[in-house]
Amino acid sequence: MKKTVCMILSVLMMLGTVSCSAVKQKESEQKEFRPALDTSVSCNIKIAGGYDNFEALETEFERFNAYYPNVKLVYTKVDDYNNTIGTVLNGNDAPDIYVNYSWMYGREQYKASIDHAENLADPALGLDLNCLRGNVILKTGDGTLPMVPVFSNTYGMLVNQSLFEKEGLEVPTNYQEMVKVCNAFREKGYKNPMMGFTRKETTSLFTLAIYPFFFETVANDAEAVNKLNSFDASAGEYIRPSLEKITQFMNDGCVDLEACSEIENNYDAVILRFFEGDVPMMLCSGDTVSGTKKRESRSEEFIANPFKYTFTPVPITDDGAVFVDMANLQFSVNKDSKNLDMANEFMRFLITQTELNEMAKNKGLMSPTKDLSFNSMYAAFGEVPESRILSPEVIGVTDDAVLQLRQACYCVGTGQMTIDEAIASYGKFEQ
């Protein structure tokens, strides 16, 4: 009897496995791109942006051509993109698809960039918007969607995993651990356990370190956000916790400002300094991370002694790391395009988990999709609890307000101002 029951259970389990496999296979088939237009159609699709080159997008062109071999897709760089895209869109040679940015929305000088954009939230277009993280999708008052993210960005630190393994240390997950790790590296002879760019306030290490902390302090305070955005006379007090944290960060000896001042810029120089191999943690943005792969071959130190590295959140708070989730680059479709159907078809092809992840990995940037596990460089951000993922877009803090915070933190971090002086200057820093 027992033998019969076991046999029945085995058969049921096998059937269950087959059933699950069939479901997974069906789901896979449903997600596979299937052409919706005549695949023999011939046309040109022009895409405009500000990048000097866009090899990752060109790879997507090749993948799209497997379905539409007679469609020629061309990427064109537009000089002084932010200031000229409106004029380009109003011209006779306007692109079919173009780069857009969330910060352009609602600003009069970029009105043309928004007005020319098709509503990509229209269900009839068939874009798989569900594959995207909600934080990086532009929030509009009327529910329309003039742009969709193709890359995302965040702030964090490049981590020399090989150094941590060599010295038997763990990558820190909260502020106290970070201070202890910095001290431990110093005791082992590492002069600069944590570095970053400090010559200018733009994306300085102070900005990179404090953003996650700042957004956490105002995330659930609508009044604070409104006052910060309007440069209210009392708004400076809302950045006091951030300024105090930066002061603590510097006083705890995490960073040697003099050593960091030797780094000439927050991109090429940051990467090459990190590749020298003696820096356990280097503060930077996802934009900087995107340039690491190409520069491995430019670093004599890295060539001689290659090491494993990843990008992780900065654990600036006592409760753990915060993932500041932002859109990096977004695409819009020109609603006046002469090849509108094919432009939309390319967007339907591109806005899927498979293609966006592929393009992000090729470009070296973070994908805007819900799955970050596919890329070991950014996988740590995918492990941050949802409750600790914050978006400036969702919180509502404007770029102008963030710029005031950025300059205040820079002045306090470098000793140019006291905390009270920086608070009193909120809203008065040069824009």
108 alpha carbon, distance to own chain's centre = 26
Q: What is the pTM of this model?
A: 0.86
pLDDT (tens place) for every residue of the chain, 431 residues total? 434 444 444 444 444 443 343 333 333 334 689 999 999 999 999 999 999 889 999 999 999 999 999 999 999 999 999 999 999 999 999 999 999 999 899 889 999 999 999 999 999 999 999 999 999 999 898 999 999 999 999 999 999 999 999 999 999 999 999 999 999 999 999 999 999 999 877 778 998 999 999 999 999 999 999 999 999 999 999 999 999 999 999 999 889 999 999 999 999 999 999 999 999 999 999 999 999 999 999 999 999 999 999 999 999 998 888 999 999 999 999 999 999 999 999 999 999 999 999 999 999 999 999 999 989 999 999 999 989 999 988 899 988 999 999 999 999 999 999 999 999 999 999 87
pLDDT at residue 201 in the model: 74
Give the right CATH number for 43-152+327-372 from 3.40.50.150, 2.60.40.10, 3.30.365.10, 3.40.190.10: 3.40.190.10
Q: Where are the beta strands (DSSP E) in 248-364?
A: 281-285, 309-312, 323-324, 326-333
What is the CATH architecture of 155-325+385-424?
3-Layer(aba) Sandwich (3.40)
Q: Where are the alpha helices (DSSP H) in 32-159?
A: 55-65, 81-89, 111-115
Please name the residues in contact with 355: beta carbons below 8 A apart, sequence gap of 6 or more: 33, 60, 63, 349
Domain residue extents for the chain: 43-152+327-372, 155-325+385-424
365, 124 contact by CB (below 8 A)? no
Question: What pLDDT shows up at residue 19?
Answer: 38
Same fold, 43-152+327-372 and 155-325+385-424: yes
In what side-by-side order are the strands of the sheet with 155-160? 194-195, 281-285, 155-160, 309-312
* pLDDT value of position 430: 84
Tell which residue, 424, 422, 419, has the closest CA to residue 244.
Answer: 419
Distances (CA, A) of 155 to 177, 213, 326, 356: 19, 11, 9, 20
Cα diameter, the chain: 85
Spatial separation of the C-alpha atoms in residues 392 and 324, rounded to whole Å: 8
Question: In the structure encoding, which two tokens stand for residue 38, read together?
Answer: 């005549």
Which pLDDT does position 290 carry in this prediction?
A: 93
Residue 248 pLDDT: 95
